[in-house]
Structure 1
């Protein structure tokens, strides 16, 4: 309660000083744009495709869609799209989501026989009043938009599944099975952020299982005023903590991308207790073009492409 004129003047002075800080910070900061970052080594090729869009002053939303389509179509990337590891029934099921600078988003889950789930998710965003379509509904929508059904189970993935059937033991393998995602974040020349995330999910999962990758806030989140984040690793843990939304909110409070990713990982690790048997990793990009990452286990890397070139970096980790 303001009790006298002196208190009122003191409060007014403080408020005026605080109000000026953001404007000074923005005026002096230099924005690193355009820039694109993505998870894992297969992000290098994905970034190359995204950069072609960004370098021509294209929109971030178009860049991230173009970028992640590369590993979706690559049979040698056995955790995304075509050639991805199947579930325990032998079916390749795909999840993806995409989000633009205006918080428009689209998502598909448990989609089968369609090579590019990210492009289906984009059309869910652009052409429907919904955010997420799943299973048979997602497939029917994809076909109505001109997508063609095709067999996504390659001989290599089929053999891996048949070998797994010998023991049928489901246990996550750190940095092997959990190379399950490509998440991509981009900042374009207009200063707008977008993100995309696509996966074939955990290898040999139960039929019907959906992870964090198609869930806005868990596997991907974009706030054009603050930054964006994407995740990789054990999807269930990102869902339980709404991990990517958490990272962005910590950036809103003033943390750098690396600090925000670290805080989110540490929160998950604290709640797990036995975190050493799991992998969780976050990658974040701020509105100013600063990027950062953090994970539980060493071995998670991410690709960065900007005007200065491309590089693959190792994320810092708890262990």
Structure 2
């Protein structure tokens, strides 16, 4: 028995790579790292790694985290510039007894000393998005997008080991140094081999208000299925934030327990996620929407998947050149 679940359709190729490792009795941590690195290296994904959209100073700052559900060891980095694969740096830090969460210049110094690959992460394509945004907003204060497409994954291997990972370039046009939920253990991800794991994507500032991933794992520990736990945490946090503040940001979560059962919940329309299990012939992309008091998952057809990737690879119109 093995399984893997990930946020967003952009993770499809990565999950396919990870699933091949799990199918061959590979370690969940290796599968997670390989899968997330595939997303980080994809230049057309605007929210993760190479090609990620920059902050308001036109600098790409990256966050990532890795957590081992067996030992509860974790590694995390925040606001890191010009390193190719943040997930690998985060995993390296998880081997330490302390100094597990490094940010900014300190994280970069660690990565450089440890021999991780340096790479200019700002692409010409991302520069066009930036200049277009600045031109569009020239007469008003710049503001980041409401939601965001962090890649988050949970993997269960045949030995019962459970690992989670996240990687993101954060909100487009964010303030320099801003760190969202993705590398925060308990909010962006949480894994416990005795129970299961969860990871989140959306508006980090609101996901952190609910310590979302930890809450889902606790709900599973109390006996809820992954689907029930995801729905309970997302629906209650969405309602609570709306009641207190009049609004809630994007909240989307995926989870998997030690039996390989999985769940997903979201407060946005057509949230997509990818699942691979030993029982399925190949990784499957799902679209999910809230219907009353539950989520309704539907398998995405090939036409939808093809359109998804085509949209991300289409040429970007240059509207402003300064």
Q: One fold, TM greater than 0.5?
A: yes
Task: Give TM class, smaller chain.
Answer: 0.7 to 0.9
Consecutive aligned runs of 4 or more in structure 1 exceeding 2 Å deviation: 127-130, 274-278, 315-319
CA spacing shift, 1:97–1:163, aligned 2, 3 Å: same
Secondary structure of 1:42's aligned partner: helix
Compute the RMSD of aligned alpha carbons.
Answer: 1.6
The answer as to whether partners of 1:172 and 1:278 remain within 8 angstroms in 2 is no
The alpha-carbon deviation at position 129 of structure 1 amounts to: 2.7
Distance 1:306 1:252 in 2: 22
Gaps of 5+ in 1: 1-32
Aligned residue number for residue 42 of structure 2: 74
Per-residue CA distance 1:212-231 (angstroms, 9 max, x = gap): 00010000000111110000
Matched with 1:138 is 107
Contact in 2 for aligned 1:269/1:275 (Cα 8 Å): no
CA distance in 2, matches of 1:255, 1:56: 30
Aligned length: 283
Point out the structure with max Rg over C-alpha: 1
Deviation at 1:279, TM superposition (A): 1.2
Which structure 2 residues correspond to residues 104-253 of structure 1 after superposition, within 5 A? 104-127=73-96, 129-166=98-135, 167=137, 168-173=141-146, 178-179=148-149, 181-253=150-222
> Residue 61 of structure 2 is aligned with which of 93, 96, 107?
93
**What's the counterpart of residue 20 of structure 1?**
none
Partner of 2:303: none
Match of 1:51 among 5, 15, 19: 19
- Give, in angstroms, the shift of residue 315 of structure 1: 2.5
Residue 7 of structure 2: which of 28, 39, 44 is its match?
39
In structure 2, the residue corresponding to 1:267 is in which secondary structure? helix
Normalising by structure 1, what TM-score? 0.85
In structure 2, relative to structure 1, the CA distance for the partners of 1:301 and 1:118 (3 Å cut) is same
In structure 1, what is the Cα distance between the partners aligned to 2:76 and 2:144?
27
- How far apart in 2 are the matches of 1:207 and 1:313? 34
Q: Deviation digits for residues 260-313 of structure 1, max 9, x if unmatched?
A: 111111221122216766310010101100001001111211001123221101
Asked if 1:317 is matched to 2:293, the reply is no
Superposed CA deviations along residues 22-63 of structure 1, whole A, max 9, x for unmatched, are xxxxxxxxxxx2111101001111101211221221111111
5 Å-filtered alignment, 1:252-263, equals 252-263=221-232
**Worse overlay, 242-251 or 127-136:** 127-136
> Cα deviations across residues 170-218 of structure 1 (Å, max 9, x unaligned)?
1525xxx522x11011110001111101100111111111000001000
- Runs of 5+ consecutive residues of structure 2 not aligned to the other structure: 293-322
CA distance in 1, matches of 2:71, 2:43: 33
Name 1:292's counterpart in structure 2: 263
Q: Which moved more, 1:127-136 or 1:262-271?
A: 127-136
Shift of 1:128: 5.9
TM-superposed CA distance for 1:169, in Å, is 3.0
TM-score w.r.t. structure 2 length?
0.84
Matches of 1:37 and 1:153, distance apart in 2:
28
